[in-house]
Amino acid sequence: MARDKITVVGAGNVGATTAHIAATRGLGDIVLVDIVQGLAEGKALDIAEASPIELSSPAITGTCDWEITAESDIVIVTSGFPRKPGMSRADLLAKNVQIVNDVSTKIARHSPDAIVIVVCNPLDAMVYTAAKVTGFAKDRVMGMAGVLDSGRFSYFIACELGVSVEDIKCVLLGGHGDDMVPLPRFTSVSGIPITELLDEEKIAELIERTRKGGIEVVNLLGYSAYYAPAAGAVKMAEAILRDTKAVLSCCAYCRSEYSAGGCFVGVPAVLGRNGVEKVIELDLNRSERNQFEESLAHVKELAAKVDKLL
């Protein structure tokens, strides 16, 4: 039986960490590709040499040659300029549209049946770029953001309540940025809504920290986070490759759902072997709906800018 093939585009911090986590999970044969000669090769070799110690899969190849990525089942796109202190995700738009445009053209050429998971920022706009350039069915192109944001929100809640992160289930909507929409009403600890455990002021404080979670790391490190984004990308890939039907918040294409009018935006979705198999539409109250519509408007503004750049 043929093993699944996962290509990770970009051998920087996010890409190399994604490849490492995927290898430890034994998801399949991994190809790490980068334009910098020796970078992907060196990191792949380092990961492979760790496999006897970690008892993980050594099936990883580093390369600059896109031919080696051919017939991938999943392609995870991490390549792009990272954020630095003082930069917003939107500041990266023009540079990263060029990169994702080039990468998406190569994905379509070498792996026309792949499912694409985009990680680089500004996330929702880069997912739109990848879908437009590849021409793939929209259910096969998605973005890793909600899993990361849910992870951050869950961690902050767990710290505040002194409970296990495993007991927390979060739901988020909207774009990946300062106007994301965490939903306390649908976020729970072992089924107990956090609105029963925390007061409004504390919940608002945790939501704000979640929205600023990326820049908090950037300000401390001087560059973008990578452990948590990589873990989020692998969680999505695992749900798809193992057909678990996991419900994860991610950037997915909404046709009529949430009255989005055909747009890639953060929503809870069922992920399986076919990609995004279902978008779960929640019955939002007026406040939640207003927040989502504001976030959606910003996502659509970025998509319109992408159209002008391509």
CATH superfamily, region 5-143: NAD(P)-binding Rossmann-like Domain (3.40.50.720)
Q: Where in the chain is the domain with CATH 3.90.110.10?
A: 146-309
Per-residue model confidence as pLDDT tens digits over 71-83? 999 999 999 887 6
3-state secondary structure of 94: helix
Per-residue model confidence as pLDDT tens digits over 222-240? 988 999 999 999 999 999 9
Q: Which of 169, 172, 185, 174 has the alpha carbon at shortest distance from 285?
A: 185
The average pLDDT across 283-309 equals: 95
Burial 84-123 (b: 16+ CB within 10 A, else e): eeeeebbebbeebbebbbebbebbbebbeebbbbbbbbbb
Residue 22 CA to residue 148 CA, distance in Å, equals 16
Could you tell me which residues come within 8 angstroms of residue 243 by beta carbon, excluding any fewer than 6 positions away? 272, 273
- The CA dihedral of 136, 129, 283, 188, to the nearest 10 degrees, is 100
Q: Where in the chain is the domain with CATH 3.40.50.720?
A: 5-143
pLDDT tops 90 at residue 1: no
Backbone angles phi, psi at 190, to 5 degrees: 50, 45
**In this predicted structure, what is the pLDDT of residue 85?**
72
Backbone angles phi, psi at 104, to 5 degrees: -65, -35
Identify the active-site residue in 20, 110, 176, 298.
176
298 is catalytic: no
Is 169 exposed, middle or buried, given 0-12, 13-18 or 19+ CB atoms closer than 10 A? middle
Per-residue model confidence as pLDDT tens digits over 135-187? 999 999 999 999 999 999 999 999 999 999 999 999 999 999 888 999 999 99
Question: What architecture is domain 146-309?
Answer: Alpha-Beta Complex (3.90)
User: Which amino acid makes up residue 199?
Assistant: D
Provide the whole-model pTM: 0.95
Residue 57 CA to residue 271 CA, distance in Å, equals 24
